[in-house]
Amino acid sequence: MTLLFQLLVNGLIVGALYGVVAMSFVLIYKASRIVNFAQGEFLLIGAWTCWWLLTHWQLPFWIGFPITLAFMLIFGVVLQVVVLRPMIGEPIISVIMVTIGLSIFFQAMMKWMFGVFAKPFPTIFASPTMNVFGLEVQTVYVVSLVISLLIMAGFGWFFKYSRMGLAMRATAFDQQVAQSLGISVRQMFAMSWAISAMVSAVAGVTVGVVNGVSSALSFFGIKVFPAVILGGLDSVAGAVLGGLIVGVLENLAHYLDSQWLNWGNMYEIAPFYVLIVILMIKPYGLFGTKDIERV
Amino acid sequence: MANISLIPCGDFKTRYAADTTIFPTVTSRNFAILGVLLLLTFPAFMDRYWLNLCIQIGYLGIAALGLNILVGFTGQISIGHAAFFGFGAFSSAWLSNSFGIPVALAIPLAGVMTTAVGMLFGVPAARLKGLYLAIATLAAQYILQDFFARADWFTGGTAGTIAEPFSLFGFAFDTDERYFYVVLVYMVVMYILATNLMRTRDGRALVAVRDHYLSAEIMGINLTKYRTMSFGISAFYAGIGGALYAHYLQFVSVEGFTILFSIQFLGMIIIGGLGSIMGSLMGTAFMVLLPEVMQAITNSLAGTAIDTALNLKDAIAFLREMAIGLVIILFLVFEPDGLAHRWKQIKAYWKLYPFSH
Amino acid sequence: MTIKTVLLATVAVLAFAGAANAQQKIPVGHLADQSGATSDVGVPFAQGVADALAYINKNGGVGGTQMAVETVDYGYQAPRAISQYKKWSSGSDKVAAIQGWGTADTEALTGFVGKDEIPFYSGSYSGHLTDPTGKGPHGSKPAPYNFFYGPSYSDGLRAMLTWAADDWKKKGGSGKPKYVHMGANHPYPNAPKEAGEALAKELGFDVLPAVQFALTPGDYTAQCLTLKEAGANYAYLGNTAGSNISVLKACQTVGAQVQFMGNVWGMDENAAKAAGTAANGVIFPVRTAAIWGGDAPGMKTVKEISKISDAAGTAYRPVHYVSGICSAFYMKEAMDWAQKNGGVTGPNIRKGMYQKKDWVPAGLEGVCVPSTWTETDHRGMDKVNIYRANIKGDTGASVDDLVKAGTIKLEKIATIDVPRKPEWLGW
């Protein structure tokens, strides 16, 4: 029984990480309806930037991390302005292809700049693991959990009460009406990309600290798709919940698999099976807004 | 979508049947026939490297056409096309290995088997729209990949399976020169079938589903039926493409059918032009030749003055990959409607030259 | 008419010159992954092969004839490897041999290289490639032109299991030790799975159900908890370094006490640095009898070869670099024999591979392990060197400094005999 409990705890903690990545994905979709296939590369760029600041410039983590976030903010804006602004108004599938091209480009660039070998992060926390409910967990996971909770709370407040947040929601809902009310749609797009890049950096650094930074880190981006769909594409809370569900599901499936089924890879495949089942019952995910079609 | 075509003066039709011909004008038909005749002569003077590229363009083009029927003509989206391609490859190998069916029959049968699987995954498609559909197909990709890795009886598990070479009445088409003809025949047949589909009632129904499905439903077009049918047809094309791939390499392994491959198919049709039959072929040629062209450029750069000046030595491989990504991005920024559209623009320009506007 | 004649003449002259030029060099193809999914181990191996071939050319080539080596980075994308192969295997400058790389393309090209008669020295050590006639007991396809230097993945695992059985007795363990195979459900990690589990049963291990984990880094706490719960004693990590590191770190966090056994590509100095103390104690097979800086007469030659791409002589070369050198040199000596016996063509090079028993290339004594290839058995190596990775402390510095300081140490702990049993051929 304790194994099951430990797996659940681990699932929740890792699920929170998935939730963070899912959140950054949904942010872009919500604002501009673009599926960003380069999300994994954002994680990678964030991880490498933080690694570089910590090893080459010998900065302590609590200085290097905010600098990384600031850099990713600027990076998101620049990317949107340079690459995606010319694509406004084009068919959405072309824009998706552009993000795919971006992911190819950034993968290669990161390999060029930082080499092909996995590199470890320098030790950041005094004790690398913490005891959570009897399970030894990496400290960085717990720290990222705290940070993600803060981010989620921050976003909750931002989108509901701040002027900018309301403007972003308006733009996501109907661009033309928002424009007619004086909201600069282009600024909103740029900002949504900036915030998404920043949030990705948090997740990227977390994964990098645990596993070392290597180019395969970007696969986290694809892993997150089921989480995003489970929660509904345009719901930030749904994305987080979807991440948690996927995390717990993976571990539960592994438990079932190791104890009884012995198929071997339920861990990877179970989320997809569950995804299909849920989509058949609730085609818009758990929290997605239903597309009401007006004739 | 990109169907602006200028019909020259005096070319008017008096019968409905004349208006729905496969080739819009006699000239275009003659050019097409000439093109096929030219292709027939390729193996005589091209070396294996180029023949290999042409064969790749051939079977990938067939699969890309299937995806274009699904995405471009019916407005659905699928990121699981590589899995159907792989299913076709494995079923053709399985049919010819386990049941001794001659390869010439195994390839169409593999297409039929893949159609069945495609329609299975098309059933949930009726309810899902847009991105949810895309992710459902992504799930299909992973599930099928997992199936390939496990089903030893079907795929040989992770060791892969050997496929027999294509042979007709004892004449084996196992060299590049001979297999080129097999692929050519299949390509011509499949492309004509697709063009024909688009001028029939069902083809028009598919386009109606894409353009405005509510109106289509009001007019009496059964959305579920046509969406599922579209998945089935696209899977058929993917299956045939996969089967041709299997009998060319004579070895099929699960490693080759990854999500990246699915994304490449999407790239082929987006760059070629959604909703355009010729565009599928152009896009496939683009995606197949792009890495080769980049490779040739970097090979010629390696060791030259530019190389040493910028100290590129090791970075050339990465620059090549970056260049591929960059070309895709730039192409889409400047021509989001794809190669087919650009080609039509060029033709239109020359049609009215020097009075083009 | 005049222009046409001039053009024809120019073409003729160029073709003639081209042909004449081609006569003087032996074309050799080299496929490498320097930017793709396996580039972390592909880069040092490819560097070793390229440097070795350049060194051979500098020192007289193959019996006085230079080799024209073309290194192509195919990014671990099999279709590109196949197109490249088509280029190399057609026309007047057909390559004499190819130094290959990954499992995916090697398996796809097996049939083709057999038909075109081009010896293929792969970086993939799958057991399926060891059966030249295809008559082995496990129904593998014939691979008469596939060679590789090193123990096959299956033989490497067999060696480690033999060691593990001994180790359990030495540790005074009671009862049956538990063994588990860990890896992705893919050809490369799966290659030795059956063979390993069969031998483990024979040796008295309790074989637990295999655990799967993906080839990409991620969170594998669940797998480690399962290991801990099941009380596994010995676990084989079948994936490449990137994901193995994730498992090692997760298991260190969770506190799973397992003796991990890696594969040749799963652990090296760079992976040890990336994993840090989590990789302490991991054992893995090394293809060479000595690693960089080790004590062997052949190490001098290795250092000379290293100077080709590192003139200062300060770079540290991982285990894969030295193995790449051996792979290139075996090809070279086979070509030497072929040149004296009918010319450097594919079939002759292949015959050249069968000429010597317990063969060590000249100048690499003590580095390359004596290997024997025969017409019916392409298992070259029957002795496997097992090393243990010892890591103590922080691994932030460069690999070079870490090894010098002794923070990372690879020590040889055993040399295990893996007899060439006929029932193990092609498996």
Q: Do B322 and A105 touch (CB under 8 A)?
A: yes
Residues of chain B whose C-beta is under 8 A from some C-beta in A?
71, 77, 124, 127-129, 131-132, 134-136, 138-140, 142-143, 146, 150, 214, 259, 263, 266-267, 270-271, 274, 315, 318-322, 324-329, 332-333, 336-337
In a domain, C316, yes or no: yes
- Using CB atoms, which residue from A3, A135, A211 is nearest to C245? A211
Q: Looking at the structure, tell me whether residues C363 and C268 fall in a common domain.
A: no
Adjacent-strand bridge partners of A138: A129
Per domain, the residue ranges of chain B are 32-351
Cis ω before B354 (30° cut-off from 0): yes
ipTM: 0.82
Token pair recorded at residue C297: 């007469």
Phi and psi, residue A256, nearest 5°: -55, -45
Q: Are C124 and C287 in contact (CB under 8 A)?
A: no
Asked if B266's CB is within 8 angstroms of A97's CB, the reply is yes
Q: Are residues C203 and C320 in the same domain?
A: no
Q: Which residues of chain A make contact with B129, given a CB cutoff of 8 A?
A: 283, 291
Q: What is the pLDDT of residue B5?
A: 57
Residues C147 and C359: beta-carbon distance below 8 Å: no
CB contacts < 8 A, A to B, total 125
Which residues of chain C are within 8 Å of residue B291 when distances are taken between CB atoms? 77, 80
Cβ atoms of residues B149 and B158 within 8 Å: yes
Residues A138, C242: C-beta atoms closer than 8 Å = no
Check residue B109 and give its pLDDT: 95
CA-based nearest distance B53→chain C, Å: 7
| DSSP letter string, C322-348 | HHHHHHHHHHHHHHHHHHHTT-S-HHH
Q: Does B349 touch chain C (CB under 8 A)?
A: no
Contact C86 B158 (CB under 8 A): no
Residue C367's alpha-carbon distances to A226, C58, C355, C384, in angstroms, are 50, 21, 20, 13
> What CATH code is carried by the domain that includes residue C286?
3.40.50.2300
Concatenated DSSP letters of C274-294: HHGGGGTT-EEEESBSS-TT-
Provide the sign of the torsion angle of the four alpha carbons C371, C373, C376, C379, taken in this order.
Answer: positive
Say yes or no: C177 and C239 in one domain: yes
The gap between the terminal CA atoms of chain B, to the nearest Å, is 20
Reported in sequence order, the residue ranges of B173-289 that DSSP labels E, i.e. its strands, are 251-252
- Rounded Cα distance between B100 and B97, Å, is 6
H or E element: which one contains A132? strand A129-132
Q: Is residue C16 part of a domain?
A: no
Check whether residue C279 and residue C329 sit in a common domain. Answer: no
CB burial string A78-117: b at 16+ within 10 A, e below: ebbeebbeebeebeebbbbbbbbbbbbbbbbbbbbebbbb
Cα-based distances in Å from C376 to C96, C120, C306: 22, 16, 35
Residues C180 and C325 placed together within one structural domain of the fold: no
Q: How confident is the model at residue C97 (pLDDT cuts 50, 70, 90)?
A: very high
Residues C275, C407 contacting (CB under 8 angstroms): no
Q: From the centroid of its chain, how far is CA A172?
A: 19
Q: How many whole angstroms separate alpha carbon C245 and alpha carbon C274? A: 7
* C-alpha distance from C145 to closest chain B C-alpha (Å): 16
pTM assigned to the model: 0.86
The candidate with the shortest Cα–Cα distance to A289, out of B227, B212, B126, B132, is B132
Q: Is residue A218 a contact partner of residue C217, using CB atoms and an 8 Å limit?
A: no
* Touching subunits for chain B (3+ Cβ pairs under 8 A): A, C
- Gap between the Cα atoms of C140 and B81, Å rounded: 30
Q: What is the SS3 assignment for C387?
A: strand
Interface of B with C in 52-91 (CB under 8 A): 52-53, 56
Please count the structural domains in chain C: 2
Work out the angle at residue B148's Cα, subtended by the Cα atoms of residues B144 and B154, and round it to the nearest 5 degrees.
125
Q: Which residues of C touch A267 (CB under 8 A)?
A: 212-213, 222-223
- Same domain (yes/no): C159, C147: no
Q: Which of C212, C242, C253 sits opposite A264 (nearest CB)?
A: C212
| C13 within some domain | no
Cα–Cα distances in angstroms (integers) from residue B353 to residues B107, B341, B357, C149, C207, in the given order: 47, 18, 9, 65, 78
Smallest Cα distance from A125 to chain B, Å: 34
Angstrom distance (rounded) from CA C30 to CA C28: 7
Is C47 in the same domain as C141? yes
According to DSSP, the residues that pair with C390 across neighbouring strands are C409
CB A149 within 8 A of CB A142: no
C222/A267 CB distance under 8 A: yes
> Tens of pLDDT along chain A (295 residues)?
678 888 888 888 888 888 888 888 888 888 887 888 899 999 999 999 999 999 888 888 889 999 999 999 999 999 999 988 888 777 777 888 888 889 989 988 998 888 888 888 887 777 777 777 777 777 888 888 888 888 888 888 888 899 988 888 888 778 788 889 999 888 888 998 999 999 999 889 988 888 888 888 888 887 788 888 788 777 778 888 888 988 898 888 888 877 777 766 677 778 778 877 877 777 777 777 776 666 5
| C-alpha–C-alpha distance, residues C34 and B316, integer Å | 10
Q: Cβ(B282)–Cβ(B340) under 8 Å? A: yes
pLDDT at C321 over 50: yes
Specify whether C43 is located in the same domain as C109. Answer: yes
Which residue from A94, A228, A291 is facing B129, i.e. has the nearest CB? Answer: A291
Q: What percent of chain C has pLDDT over 70?
A: 94
Chain B neighbors of C190, CB-CB under 8 A: 157-159
> Are C374 and C392 members of one domain?
no
Residue of A nearest to B139 (CA): A272
Looking at per-residue pLDDT, the higher value among A133 and C246 belongs to C246
Chain B residues lying within 8 Å of A98, measured CB to CB: 328-329, 332-333
What three-state secondary structure class fits C16?
helix
CB contact under 8 Å between C78 and B314, yes or no, is no
> Which of B152, B217, B322 best probes binding to A when mutated, by most A CB atoms within 10 angstroms?
B322
Q: Are strands C25-32 and C66-73 parallel, antiparallel or unpaired?
A: parallel
Give the residue-averaged pLDDT of C195-219: 87
* CB burial string A141-158: b at 16+ within 10 A, e below: bbbbbebbeebbeebeeb
- Residue-number span of the structural domain to which C83 is assigned: 30-151+296-381
Q: Which helix (H) or strand (E) holds C147?
A: strand C146-147
SS (H, E, C) B32-47: HHHHHHHHHCHHHHCC
Residue that wins the pLDDT comparison between C91 and C406: C406
Q: What do you get for the CA distance between the two ends of chain A, in Å?
A: 54
**Residues B42-61 as b or e (16 or more Cβ within 10 Å = b):** ebeebebbbbbbbbbbbbbb
Compare CB distances from C274 to A120, A217, A250 and report the shortest one's residue: A120
For residue C158, give the nearest of C123, C201, C129 by alpha carbon.
C201
Same domain, C35 and C109: yes
Rounded to 5 degrees, what are φ and ψ at C132?
-70, -30
CB environment C207-226: b (16+ within 10 A), e (fewer): bbbbbbbbbbbbbbbbbbbb
Comparing C-alpha atoms, which of C92, C77, C106 is closest to residue C16?
C92
Token match 């099951």: residue? A4
**Contact state of C187 with B255 under an 8 Å Cβ cutoff:** yes
Q: Does C86 contact B159 at a Cβ distance shorter than 8 Å?
A: no
Mutation site for A-interface testing, chosen from C43, C194, C219, C398 by largest number of A Cβ within 10 Å = C219
Q: Phi and psi at residue C65, in whole multiples of 5°? A: -100, 135
Q: Residue written as tokens 């090791």? A: B314
What's chain A's length in residues?
295
Question: Which of C87, C89, C128 shows the shortest C-beta gap to B159?
Answer: C128
Plot region of A285 (φ>0 → left; ψ -120 to 50 → alpha; else → beta)? left
pLDDT confidence band for C7 (50 / 70 / 90): low
Per-residue pLDDT of chain B (357 residues; tens, 9 = 90+): 334 556 667 777 788 888 788 887 788 889 999 999 999 998 888 888 889 999 999 999 999 999 999 999 988 888 899 999 999 999 999 998 888 888 889 999 999 999 999 988 888 777 777 777 877 788 888 888 888 888 888 887 777 787 778 877 777 887 888 899 999 999 999 999 999 999 899 999 999 999 988 899 999 999 889 999 999 999 999 999 999 999 988 888 888 888 889 988 988 999 999 888 999 999 999 999 998 888 888 778 776 666 666 666 667 778 888 888 888 888 888 888 889 989 988 888 887 777 766
User: CB neighbours (10 Å) of residue C316?
Assistant: 19
Over residues C354-411, the pLDDT tens digits come to 998 888 998 899 899 999 999 888 888 889 999 999 998 888 788 888 888 888 889 9
Q: Is B254 on the interface with C (CB under 8 A)?
A: yes
Same domain, C372 and C388: no
Pair C282, C323 in one domain? no
Architecture of the B32-351 domain: Orthogonal Bundle (1.10)
In chain B, % helix, strand, coil (3-state, to 5) comes to 75, 0, 25
8 A C-beta contact, residue C28 and residue C70: yes
**Nearest C-alpha of chain C: how many angstroms from A146?**
18
Which of C107, C101, C99, C117 is CA-nearest to residue C331? C99
- pLDDT class for C185, splitting at 50, 70, 90? confident
Determine whether B195 is exposed, middle or buried from the number of CB atoms within 10 Å of its CB (0-12, 13-18, 19+).
middle
Are the Cβ atoms of B250 and C190 closer than 8 angstroms? no
- Partner residue opposite C253 with nearest CB, options A117, A138, A219: A138
Distance CA A157, CA A154 (A): 5
* 8 Å CB contact between B167 and B182: no
Residue C118 — very low, low, confident or very high, per pLDDT cuts 50/70/90? very high
Dist. CA C367–CA C425, nearest whole Å: 26
> What pLDDT score was predicted for residue B305?
65
